[in-house]
Amino acid sequence: MKLQEKILKTAKETISIEAKAIANLENFIDNEFAEAVEKIYQTKGRVIVTGIGKSAIIATKIVATLNSTGTPAIFMHAADAIHGDLGTIQQDDLVICISKSGNSPEIKVLVPYIKDFKNLLIGITADRDSFLGRESNYVLNSFVEMEACPNNLAPTTSTTAQMVIGDAMAICLLRLKGFSRKDFAKYHPGGSLGKKLYLRVSDISKQNMKPEVSPETSVTDAIIEISEKMLGVCAVIEDDKIIGIITDGDIRRMLKNNTEFKNLTARDIMSKAPKTIDEDALAVDALEMLETNEISQLLAVKNHKYAGVVHIHNLIREGIL
């Protein structure tokens, strides 16, 4: 077998093994899972997520997901916990402990302290009969038949299963809290994701010049207006209302069909009923309109009056596209 063929075969086998294990997790989603999520939803404190080794790495990801979806969470490394970090746990906090075997030495030391503190303990483990499984108030079963590792040793399928259990919890909590796009935006203000969630049409249109002409403006002056405002478009305004739009494409079509245009006006060459969008709409909605209609510009409106222009290049610069 050629090297590339071997690589492709191994990669596909890995994905197949993990996919089957994840699909099988549905069989473990039962009333105990629902009760555990309900306890998290009702807790007055924070969710402390702990683990050791690769499970600790998964714990940090679950904490990040919970925090970003409205459930306050803190990561506590199981090894550090028994060397001073137990003070992280406060009276009203709930603890989630992650361990595939449920019998790691650090877990066996840590769990009794959590029990002594009277904090509710939720265990995520592949072995319900393990130390963690027996001592937890609720057990979320993350059992997998085998690791993707050919030696069945390196945590692969098992850590993927742990992460999926964490995602399932987070999304259940998100639904219970009625966590909206607006809530999500508050926790994700940075980067392109944040901009998709909070950047509005007005944030973009106000950065641009505002090209406009009247219906009786000469084509020559309309071309000058389009060129000076550098957006490839101008609105045609009559009685404070948008009655049309002139784009670079309209100018090209006019030149193709008319050798003489000094007597033509904006009304003669404009496109009627242009696409508009409210300036309070999200920029990502503007992008959807542009793509759906296969156009490059939209006219922004406020209270049905012309407010400016949004160009697809604006959205590219902002990282929306």
Nearest Cα residue to 202 out of 280, 303, 298 = 280
270, 218 contact by CB (below 8 A): no
Q: What share of the chain is helix, strand, coil (3-state, %, to 5)?
A: 50, 20, 30
CA separation for the pair 194, 184 (Å, rounded): 9
Q: What secondary structure letter does DSSP report for 211?
A: -
Phi-psi region of 118 (alpha: psi -120 to 50; beta: other; left: phi over 0): left
Measured at the CA of 66, the angle between CA 120 and CA 132, to 5 degrees, comes to: 35
Identify any residues that bridge with 277 across adjacent strands, giving them in sequence order: 300
Residue 145, exposed/middle/buried by CB under 10 A (0-12, 13-18, 19+)?
exposed
CA separation for the pair 286, 315 (Å, rounded): 9
188, 68 contact by CB (below 8 A): yes
Q: Which two tokens stand for residue 119?
A: 């904090």
CA separation for the pair 321, 308 (Å, rounded): 20
- Collapsed DSSP state (helix, strand, coil) of residue 186: helix
Q: Which two tokens stand for residue 180?
A: 């909206």
51, 70 contact by CB (below 8 A): no
DSSP string of 237-303, one letter each residue: EETTEEEEEEEHHHHHHHHHH-S--TT-BHHHHPEES--EEETTSBHHHHHHHHHHHT-SEEEEEET
Q: Is 77 annotated as a binding residue?
A: yes
Which residues define the annotated binding site for Zn(2+)?
A: 77
